[in-house]
Structure formats: C-alpha cells, structure tokens
Amino acid sequence: MRILILSQFFDPELTLKGQAFAEALHSHGHQVEVLTAFPNYPGGRIFPGYRQALWRREMRNGIKITRVPLYPSHDRSALRRILSYLSFALSASFLGPLLTGPVDLIYVYHPPGTISFPALCLKLFKRARLVLDIQDLWPDSLAATGMVNSGLLTRIVGRWLSFFYRHTEALSVLSPGFKLKLAGRGVPPEKIHVIYNWCDERTFLNPPVHPLDKRALGVPEESFSVLFAGGLGLAQGLDTAVDAALKLRSTAPEIQLLFLGAGVDRDRLLHRVQTEGLSNVKFLPHVEVSEVPRYIAAADALLVHLKDNPLFHITVPSKTQAYMAAGKPILMGVRGDAEHLVLRSGAGLTFEPENAEALAQAILELASRTALERRQMGQRAQHFYREELSFQIGTGKFLELFELVAGRSVSSVEKSALKASG
C-alpha cells in the first residue's frame, strides 16, 4: 500500500506519529511518504541545519520526506499561531499535490484543524482514502485555551470540521470520550476507532543508565518528592499544585514539589513561589527530553493535572503514558478517561482537579504507603502500558485500520511479524 503521512509536525520535532511510526509501517511492506513543514516546534524557530525554501526533500531509512514552508510560531499570540497553522495549510494544499507521488491512503495527523484543507486537496487530486487521527478536539480546544473567543468563529470551525469528517473514511481518536463526543455530533460510530497514544519508548520504557538521586534534585534524601514533568502551560492549572504545597508547608515539610519543564506559565509560577517563600517547591533547570527519565527515577511520585474543563474529561495527557512506562506511582488530577486509566491499572491515586486540598490529601495518602506498595503501583503501571498502550499495540491497531480502510485484511503472517518486531 502507498501511504502518505500528512502532518505539520515531524522529526526532528518531538512527535509520537513521526519517523518511528513511518518506519514501522514501511517495515511491513508499505511505501511511506511524508508531507510536513520545516521543523520549528516548540520554540517557533526553524531548527539548525534547516533553511526555509519553497520545498525540501529528504530520505530517511526508506521514508521520503517533503517539507513545505510555513510561518514559524508557537508563542502566546493567538494571531501568530493561527498564521502558522494557515501558512502550512496553504503551502501543503498548493504544493503537496505536485510534490508527492501516487498514494492509496492518506494518514492525517490533527492538530491543527487547518490540516483539513490540504487533506481534502490531496484526497481530491490523489483519489486516495483518508484516515484522520484526532489528537485535539477543535473547536472545543480553541475556546478552552482562549485561543479563539468568538462564538461565531467557533461555530464556523465546527461546521467546517463536521464537513471534513464526512469526507474521511475513518477517524482515530485517543480516548473513548472523544468517540462519544464525535458520535454525538453526527459522526457514524463505526467510522471512529479508539487507539490510545504511546510514548517515546526509547526514552521512558527502560530504566535510565545513570539515574539521579534526590540530592541531585536539591532536596533531602529523606524527603517525599512529587515531580511534574512537562509543559508548564495555562491548561495545566498548576496554581493548584502550588496551593497544595502551601497547605503542606508547615504540616508536612518533608514533601517537596518539583517542576521540570518549560512553558508560557513557568515564569509567573516561579515568581509566585519566590514571592510567597515556598521552600518546598523547586523549579528544576530545563533539560533535554532524553534526560527526563533520570529525574523521574529520583522522584517518589509523578503528577498529572489539567484544569477542570469538560474538554479535558475526554483527553489523556501524553505524560500519562510516559509516566506509566517509567513505572512510577501517579497522582492523577484529570477527570474522565485519564482518571479511568489510572483506576483500571492500579497505577496510583486520583484527585479532583483544581482542588488543592484534594491534591494535598492525595499526596499525604501516597506518602503514607510503604515503599513496597508504591513500587507495586509502578509495576502495575508499567505492565498496563505494555499490554494496552505500547507502540507495538498502537501500531498494530493502525496497521489493521489502514488495511480495513483500503479494503484489505491483515494476514496472520503480518500480525505475527508485527508482534515479533515489538
């Protein structure tokens, strides 16, 4: 089968459905081509070694990659981010049909929703079938993050995407909640397939060769450390974590809250912690993603938190899979599908999002457990990841979906080969 991957984001940018995914499809006899942008995410600057041009071609391990230009931006300016999305959509719509070869199936990675324009252009010109992987529910997320505040504009976006969904052969979603939401909007349920995300297994699945200890994190060896690793953005609502630390400062001084990551809300949170003199909250220096497992290894528990928005009830933050693969107890402050994964797996404790008292109590409860009980939580988390969420499991499901959409069936030989390659 000839498969075209259409995505604004691709290696060397950090993305789950990138080079490794393309190579997995290629290893099963499929011809795989990629149409993407010049790499700039998340900093909004073109990566070293790249210079924007009308197009650029690359060949990596049998995967042909074609890059087209865009306006690079990923900051707090809604206008600049919209320009980034629209510029790639225009480039891919006009240049994509000319620069890519014949294809049977187009795999479309969403976000952003503007990817729908080149997807439909390519479908028309290539006479190919579309499989849309929805990672971000537009227009809901636009309103939830404050990127778009116009009710009229969100309705227009919603109607356009409903039209787009009708012209795709299948949709993949990251949670059961997404499927229910889309079915409620008139998308036939039989078109919607739940395929959970995986994590970067080369980074998170195996224990780090040189783990850090607590002293390297700047906290006492006898402390109980809770680590939040990832984007420090507005959607994470991390004032709740700081408020919980404030409550625990005097009653449980051994508990330390650690933030590892960058984001638009980092400086404000850091200023607040410094102003309030919270010695039990530390912001760790920025490190490469490959170094994050060393910090996870030193922590006693890992925190996931999002604002209590209905949109987030049906999402699964990507750090959930990374935390599970790393085999550490999880404190989950997200309602709905993410919460259910932790409860199903026995991987940790859940608490009400945006409730500092509930988070403080969950931390105290987890800290009161024995080291053996916490280690068993981590083991259950890792086992659940391997059996339900791994790259091997997810890629196998995509392979079956692509074959189904193309009107073919996956042979037992292909399934056995996929399992062995995992």
What's the CA angle centered on 271, arms 76 and 149, to 5 degrees?
A: 25
Distance CA 155, CA 157 (A): 5
Distance CA 22, CA 31 (A): 9
Give the Å distances, CA to CA, from 396 to 64, 386, 402.
Answer: 22, 13, 10
User: Would you state the pLDDT for residue 157?
Assistant: 82
Other CB atoms closer than 10 Å to residue 167's CB: what's the count?
13
Quick one: DSSP state of residue 94?
H
Q: At what angle do helices 371-384 and 318-326 cross, to 10 degrees?
A: 120
Q: Determine which helix (DSSP H) or strand (DSSP E) holds 67, and give its type and residue range.
A: strand 63-68
Distance CA 422, CA 418 (A): 6
**Whole-structure pTM value:** 0.85
Specify the 3-state DSSP secondary structure of 341: helix
Distance CA 158, CA 152 (A): 10
**3-state SS of 203-260?**
HHCCCCCCCCCHHHHCCCCCCEEEEEECCCCCCCCCHHHHHHHHHHHHHCCCEEEEEE
What are residue 299's phi and psi, to 5 degrees?
Answer: -85, 155
User: Would you state the pLDDT for residue 347?
Assistant: 97
- Of 395, 419, 379, give the one whose Cα is nearest residue 20: 395
Other CB atoms closer than 10 Å to residue 202's CB: what's the count?
10
Which tens digit of pLDDT belongs to each residue from 66-93?
A: 999 999 987 767 788 889 999 999 999 9
pLDDT beneath 50: ranges in the chain:
409-422
Sketch out the chain's domains with CATH numbers.
2-198+390-421 (3.40.50.2000), 205-387 (3.40.50.2000)
